[in-house]
Structures are given as structure tokens and as C-alpha cells.
Amino acid sequence: MGEMEELRKEMENLKDQITAARKTFQDSTLQEAAAGVTVVGRVQLKTRKTLRGHLAKIYAMHWGTDSTLCVSASQDGKLIVWDTITTNKVNAIPLKSSWVMTCAYAPSGNLVACGGLDNMCSIYNLKGKDGNVKVMRELAAHTGYLSCCRFLSDTEIITSSGDCTCVLWDIETGTQKTVFAGHQGDAMSLGVSPDFKYFISGACDFTAKLWDIREAECRQTFGGHESDINAIGFFPNGNAVITGSDDATCKLYDLRADQELLTYQDSSIMCGVTSLASSKSGRLLLAGHDDFNVNIWDMLKAERVGVLAGHDNRVSCIGVSSDGMACCTGSWDSFLKIWN
């Protein structure tokens, strides 16, 4: 018992040293630096399109890089690829399992992927020779549910899992290239950096980790949240990380300063954050909560500037297109809506 106590004390000491070291670099706060910036004013978004076709709660959605097509995954056991301009369904892909947690669109637009309680990441080829969409690969090796997946290219994809690890896969061979272990709790979400060199993961150990993909190492770990991190994303310029947690707050961490810059919280918000997306400029943060409500924050001033879909809290997932022109929300009543 004595040795455990010693090690625990050493660990606490090291943590305190890190915190102190980080503090020495903190010469200002983001709010002080942004004090002179003009206020954003109230943000009220309008529905432009409604995408109808799913039969149950939408669990996840992801925009294609062309900012026109997007893919959604629903409890009805289907992946649907939508043309958000015409609202037509481009593909409707039946899944083996209804319990899908994540879906992703490859940057090329050729592939989509999904996974969930089946512990696998299934890759589908949208551009097959005979026109039918078929499973191209089933990436199976995780010993826990697949919480999130994001393509690096048509040949590589990164997944996060309830087995606490993240994995880089070779899609051609269907094998694991790198296993990123280190989280002490289920990995819930991941985001890839704009230059595709790094990715970040948020987990149920209340931390976010920055990983170097090629060096296969964890570069930085960010703490501070008081509960599970459910959603994570890179700030548009790739220099900061945004997290959303069950502690009902979002946080902004700067990678170069290696510390937290801001916490987005309000005493009236008591419900956990389960999805997030930032505007293209990074000025606005859309935070989706577990009560199906979406709060819109001014990221610089840490002030709430609006809510999305005011009434009937319905939003189960959100995503902002890469050109920043629209936001897509999935709801528990089977619809997706495009807003701006």
C-alpha cells in the first residue's frame, strides 16, 4: 500500500508542476485580448431545407467536402447520402445493425463509413462499377463500440472506440496500422487537423489528447473538464481544440500555449454537451446538448448569442459545412434540417 501512495503522490506532484509551468506562460486571458472586438449580436438562423426520408432518430451526420452532399445515420438502420440543395436522396444504404453511432464522408466523396455497437467500422464504396453501393471493407478489431470515425483519405481512416483506444486503419488490407492507446476511459469522439498530420480525441476519462499520426504518439493531454468529453473538434485554423462535455460546458484549448483558454458555460445550462461544430471563421460555436437544444456561442467573448431550433428541442446532432455556408441538424423525429 505504501508504494502506491508514494506513486500517487509523485503523480500529483508532476501534475501540479505541469499546471504551474503552463501558468507561467499565461500572460493574458482570451477575454482580455478580445475586449476590443465588436459584438456579434443575436444570431437567429432560418431553416432552408428539410431532408425527409429516415424513419427514426438521427444519431449522426457528416458533411461531404463539397458542402453539398452529406451523409446521415439513423436508428432505422440506414445511411442516407443527401443532396442538400435539391433535398434528394442520392443513396440509401441499409446497415446490418440499427445501433449506429457515427458516420463519415471521405474527402474524395468516393466512400462513406459508419460504425456503432457492432464494434466495427464499415466502409462503403459509393462509386462502384455497377452503380450499387456495397460494403467495401469491415474493419474489425476493436473490442468496444465504435464511437467515431474520420477518413484521412480513401486508403486510411481513424476510429475511436469504447475500448479506450483510437486506431489508424489501412482500408485496402483492412488492418490496423497504429493503435493509439492512453485514454483511461471510453474514447467518444475524434477530429482530424486541417493538415491531416494530427488528430484529437475526447474520452470518458475527462481528457482530450492530441496525437501525431505518423509518429504514433500522444503529444499533448488537456484536462479541466469535470466529466466525460463527448464531442471534440479542431478550431478552423488548427491551432486550438474545442471540447464539449457532460459537465454542460465547452472548452477551448490552445495547442501552442498548451492550456485552456476559455470555458463556455452558463448557470442556466445544466445539460451535457454531446455534439459541437464551429463556424468557418471560428467566431461562432454551436453546441448541441443532450436535451436536444443547441446553444450558439460567441467564441471570443464567451457569450451566448442565440439558440437554434428554439422550440421543440429536437436536435440530436449537428455539423457545419466546410465552406461555412450552412449548418445541418439531425433530430430525434427523423428529419434533418439545413440552416443558415
Distance CA 108, CA 326 (A): 20
Q: Of 217-236, which residues contact other proteins (CB under 8 A)? A: 228, 230-231
What's phi and psi for 11, nearest 5 deg? -60, -45
E strand map for 65-107: 69-74, 78-83, 89-94, 100-105
Q: How far is the CB of 337 from other proteins (least distance, A)?
A: 7
Task: Determine, following the binding rule CB under 8 A, whether residue 272 of this chain makes contact with other proteins.
Answer: yes
Number of chain positions touching other proteins (CB under 8 A): 75
In the numeric block, which cell numbers belong to residue 103? Answer: 458516420
Task: Determine, following the binding rule CB under 8 A, whether residue 85 of this chain makes contact with other proteins.
Answer: no
Nearest to 82 by CA among 101, 64, 56, 96: 64
Please report, as a single letter, which amino acid is at residue 70. Answer: C
Task: Determine, following the binding rule CB under 8 A, whether residue 325 of this chain makes contact with other proteins.
Answer: no
Q: Of 6-35, which residues contact other proteins (CB under 8 A)? A: none
The runs of H, that is alpha helices, within the chain are 2-24, 30-33
Judged by CB under 8 A, the residue of 12, 16, 66, 312 near other proteins is 312
> Based on CB atoms, which residue is closest to other proteins, 101 or 302?
101
Judged by CB under 8 A, the residue of 68, 72, 147, 278 near other proteins is 147
Provide the mask over 182-221, with x wherever binding to other proteins is found by CB under 8 A and - wherever it is not.
--xxx-xx--------------xx----------------
N residues, the chain = 340
Q: Of 149-178, which residues contact other proteins (CB under 8 A)? A: 162, 164
Please report, as a single letter, which amino acid is at residue 178. Answer: T
Distance CA 55, CA 95 (A): 14
User: Which span (174-182, 191-199, 277-285, 307-315) binds other proteins, by CB under 8 A?
Assistant: 307-315
Judged by CB under 8 A, the residue of 69, 70, 133, 167 near other proteins is 133
Dihedral over Cα of 106, 108, 109, 110: its sign: negative
Q: Of 240-259, which residues contact other proteins (CB under 8 A)? A: 246
Helix (H, G, I), strand (E, B) or coil at 160: strand
User: Which span (11-19, 104-112, 191-199, 271-279) binds other proteins, by CB under 8 A?
Assistant: 271-279
Task: Determine, following the binding rule CB under 8 A, whether residue 340 of this chain makes contact with other proteins.
Answer: no
DSSP assignment string, 228-256: -EEEEEE-TTSSEEEEEETTS-EEEEETT
Q: Of 106-125, which residues contact other proteins (CB under 8 A)? A: 116-119
Residue with cell 485514454: 183
CA 250 from chain center: how many Å? 12
Judged by CB under 8 A, the residue of 89, 182, 221, 322 near other proteins is 89
Task: Determine, following the binding rule CB under 8 A, whether residue 75 of this chain makes contact with other proteins.
Answer: yes
Task: Determine, following the binding rule CB under 8 A, whether residue 76 of this chain makes contact with other proteins.
Answer: yes
Q: How far is the CB of 204 from other proteins (least distance, A)?
A: 5
